[in-house]
Amino acid sequence: MAWFKNTIEENKADTSQRRAREAAADFQAIVKDQTYREDRLLRNLRLYTNLKVLGLDAYNYEAQRLPANRLRLNLVAAVVNTACSMLAANQTRAKWMCEGGRRADLRKAELLTKFGAGLVYKYGLHKTDAHLRKMAAVFGSNSYLIDDSADDIEVIRTGPDELWCDDVDGALQHPRTLYRYVEMDSEEAEIRFGKERGSLAQDGKIAASSSLRVQVDHSIGILQAWHLPSNPKAKDGRVLICTAKQALLDEEWTDTKFPIAKFDYESRVLGWDGQGLPEMVEDIQIEMNWILRKIQTSLNLAASHVLVEENANVNLSSINNNELGVVKFKGPIAPQWVTVQAISPEYYSQLDRLWSRGFQVTGISEMTASARKQPGIDSGRAIREMGDIQSGRFLATSQGWEQFCVDRGDALTRSANRVAKRNKEFRVLVEDRANVRGMKWSELNFDPDRDAWMVKVWPANLLPETPAGKIQALTELASVGLVDQSLAMMMLDNPDVEAAKRRSTAPRAVIEKIIDAALVDGKYIAPQPFFPLDLGISLCIQAYEEAVVDDVPEAKRDILARWVKAAAALKAQAQPPAPQMPMGLQPGQTPGPGVPIPGPAGAGGPPGMPPMPPLQMQPPASGLPQ
């Protein structure tokens, strides 16, 4: 059944009810066909936690610990936690880019990047990302759902078994139909979807009950389904929210993407779900558990033995655990204490080999897991090179995380635009150099459906984490002249590259702000004597020439020309007047003996000559209009 197809029913309410019934039936068929999926998720969770977890749902998440006397060595937890730490070290942020090389386009992209970072912090995604990475490493995938149905954005981290798609539709990882199923208190659902009190209480569940799921009387099943349009201009997209008996929302879906950002720890060759780390090392973990049990049992059974001659007269009661005990015996042969080997050393060697092999299979450095570096790797360059080698096998997972950051930024941008159309006051706090300020979406003058744009990732940190790596990186930056010694020392004490960059580039930032105000906003900011006037004149001339190429209106270009003239006048006022040359001398000649040195400008010349006029300072030549 295709619930999203249009029919010729005259009553729209009947059409929505028909869609709700068909969507529920489709979802139930998918759950029935994918019983393996819940088994796999539950097995992964048990391997990671080392607990007998009974179910994945909130009502049945109960755990029983293994026997307290059982020896455990959890390889799965070690590789998962190490992988999450390595992903956390790969600090990436989304960067927006707009079509066109004009200064206005570059400024819009810069503001979009700031607004996107503000969205991440507003909804606490920098905190929840850590749990999302761990969920993906354990279960294979985890997602954010971006809900913009109200006057604000709601970012929901989905559970491991909330999102479903048909096996055939999602075989190549690009499904067109996606389902999300949650169980919710009926009263909460009535408030959320604006229904009358008690109208949803009897709707019940949608998903078929499994042996692991506990049914709660006051909860109902909510199914949310999306069907993407066949092309950007098609009208066959649909979004539906329903219970087992009625539709709560039935609208056209025009976006070509689902409102989710999904992170797969490891993509499968076929299938929409990702592959988690427990699947990769499951066999190794099971073998390790068997060896550990064997070692523990053998060690518990191993004991010291006393060899006593059969006819010897030995007081057996004196053989005990007392210190400085005395054993009396008669006969030529004394009792002998013999300790037998509990278990073959090969078991210990095999256990160590399996532990190391688990890290090799997953592409994670065992040194990173134990927070150790290899012997002889001491210099900053060597540490960076070793980090590059270790991260090579981890590259696919890192790229997957970067793509997730891009997808999240894309989804947040589209949702922010839809919310801002309903809520004109929609705003976030953004970083503005060393301060923060509120920014409204309307300030961006940006429409993702109208403008050409894209999101890419860029590193948040430049310096390595280790002290040796920081020193080496700063030494290299200083050697090529990018930073001086004092700036390098400041960055070493406070490795926030952005803060150091703000201080070192403040003179240029002032001029760039002046240029932006002129060419983008059409505003004039007068030059001041303490501004970097030489740098300002040079950059403004370059910006003026660039503005001519980009066909910037002449009125805005004239603001730059006005600034250059005013800056040149300030420079002329700050310079001392040039000395007067004696009469008859050429530039570069010195007066002979007895020739008086002329006084300041305007002073009298030789006897009988009128006073000389002061020299006039001319501004530097440029292509600016006079």
- The pLDDT tens digits of the residues spanning 121-139 come to 999 998 899 999 999 999 9
The per-residue pLDDT for 453 is 78
**Average pLDDT value for residue range 237-254:** 91
pLDDT confidence bin for 282, thresholds 50/70/90? very high
| CA 547 from centroid of its chain's CA atoms | 36
Q: Average pLDDT, stretch 597-614?
A: 48
Give mean pLDDT, residues 420-424. 90
Average pLDDT (207-226) is 67
Q: pLDDT tens digits for 452-487?
A: 777 877 665 556 655 666 677 777 777 777 666 655
pLDDT of residue 524: 92
Mean pLDDT (whole number) for 491-510: 64
Secondary structure E strands in 80-176: 92-98, 141-147, 154-157, 163-164
CA atoms within 13 A on the CB side of 330: 2
Give first-to-last CA distance, the chain, whole Å: 75
Look over the chain and give the mean of its residue pLDDT values, rounded to a whole number: 79
Going by the DSSP 8-state scheme, the letter that residue 113 receives in this structure is H
Please check whether residue 34 is in contact with residue 13, taking contact to mean a CB–CB distance below 8 angstroms.
no
Of residues 232 and 601, more confidently modeled = 232
- Maximum average pLDDT range among 293-302, 363-372, 402-411: 402-411
What is the mean pLDDT of the segment spanning 591-617?
49
Give 410: exposed, middle or buried? Use CB within 10 Å, 0-12, 13-18, 19+: buried
Q: CA 4 to CA 625: how far, in whole Å?
A: 64
Higher-confidence position of 96 and 310: 96
Condensed to tens digits (0 to 9), the pLDDT of residues 161-180 reads 899 999 999 999 899 999 99
Are the C-beta atoms of residues 37 and 49 closer than 8 Å to each other?
A: no
Q: 95 or 265: whose pLDDT is higher? A: 265
Contact 130, 88 (CB under 8 A): yes
Q: Does the structure show a pLDDT above 50 at 611? A: yes
At 229 the pLDDT is 93
Q: Which of 199-203, 361-365, 487-491, 553-557 has the lowest mean pLDDT?
A: 487-491
Distant-in-sequence, close-in-space partners of 238: CB < 8 Å, separation ≥ 6: 3, 4, 19, 225, 226, 227, 250, 251, 252, 253
Q: What is the pLDDT of residue 308?
A: 78
Residue 500 confidence (pLDDT): 59
Q: What are the CA-CA distances from residue 94 to residues 228, 413, 459, 489 (Å)?
A: 25, 11, 9, 29
Share of the chain above pLDDT 90, in %: 30
Instruction: Return the pLDDT at 373.
Output: 57
How far is Cα 83 from Cα 87, in angstroms, rounded to an integer?
6
**What Rg value do the Cα atoms of the chain yield, rounded?**
38
Reported as a pLDDT band with limits 50, 70 and 90, residue 204 is confident
Who wins on pLDDT, 620 or 224? 224
Q: What is the pLDDT of residue 241?
A: 94
pLDDT at 417 over 50: yes
Mean of the pLDDT values across residues 518-528?
88
Structure-model confidence comparison of residues 307 and 257, the more confident one: 257
Q: What's the pLDDT at 62?
A: 59
Which pLDDT belongs to residue 602?
45
Cα(555)–Cα(557) distance, integer angstroms: 5
Q: Which of 164-168, 191-195, 311-315 has the lowest mean pLDDT?
A: 311-315
Residue 323 pLDDT level (bands cut at 50, 70, 90): low
pLDDT-derived band at 370 (thresholds 50, 70, 90) equals low
Domain spans, the chain: 1-69+150-258, 71-148+263-308+341-374+382-460
- Residue with the bigger pLDDT between 210 and 120: it is 120
- What pLDDT shows up at residue 137? 95
For the residues 379-401, what does the mean pLDDT come to? Answer: 65
pLDDT band of 396, cuts 50, 70, 90: confident
Q: Which residue has the higher pLDDT, 258 or 65?
A: 258
Q: What is the pLDDT of residue 499?
A: 59
* More confident of the two residues 549 and 276: 276
pLDDT tier, 582 (very low <50, low <70, confident <90, very high otherwise): low
Does 25 have pLDDT greater than 70? Answer: yes
Q: What is the mean pLDDT of residues 429-448?
A: 82
Report the pLDDT value the prediction gives residue 609, as an integer from 0 to 100.
Answer: 45
Stretch 563-569: mean pLDDT? 91
Quote the pLDDT of residue 446. Answer: 83
* pLDDT at position 102: 73
Which residue would you say has higher pLDDT here, 216 or 576?
Answer: 576
The confidence band for 617, taking pLDDT boundaries of 50, 70 and 90, is very low
Query: Which pairs from 185-189 meet CB under 8 Å and 24+ separation?
Result: 185/218, 185/219, 185/220, 186/218, 186/219, 186/220, 187/218, 189/220, 189/222, 189/243, 189/248
Question: Does the pLDDT of residue 391 top 70, yes or no?
Answer: no
